[in-house]
Amino acid sequence: MRKLSAFNLAAIGLGLAFLYLPIGVLVIYSFNASRLVTVWGGWSTRWYGELLHDSALLDSAFISVRLALTAATAATILGTLRRWRWCASAASAGGCCSAPWSMRRWSCRR
């Protein structure tokens, strides 16, 4: 195994900071007591209480969750149909399909 150089470690660190630092800032500012985003008013969970009483926002969040679950289920079904279609055609030819652990290609044994 090759040793990571200082440049590679710095690039990884900067890349991760670029991705995760804005998320951390958003989480911290979600506890801001002030109505203005740019003015820090102290720590508060007031806005989370307001969120729980906003029915339009909750409805849109539930629609997003249902859409995500539907998309994930459809992707799983479509991803496995290819394998079953392949195995069904091989089984009709008298073979049995199995995927090797390396997943490089499908192999059928007779």
pLDDT tens-digit map of 36-82: 888 899 999 998 999 899 999 999 999 999 999 999 999 999 888 86
Assigned domain for 103 exists: no
Assigned domain for 97 exists: no
pLDDT in the model for residue 59: 96
Number of domains in the chain: 1
Alpha helices in the chain (DSSP H): 6-29, 46-52, 55-92
Q: Quick one: DSSP state of residue 2?
A: P
Assigned domain for 96 exists: no
Assigned domain for 38 exists: yes
Q: Quick one: DSSP state of residue 43?
A: B
Domain that holds residue 14: 6-83
Assigned domain for 40 exists: yes
Mean pLDDT of 87-101: 55
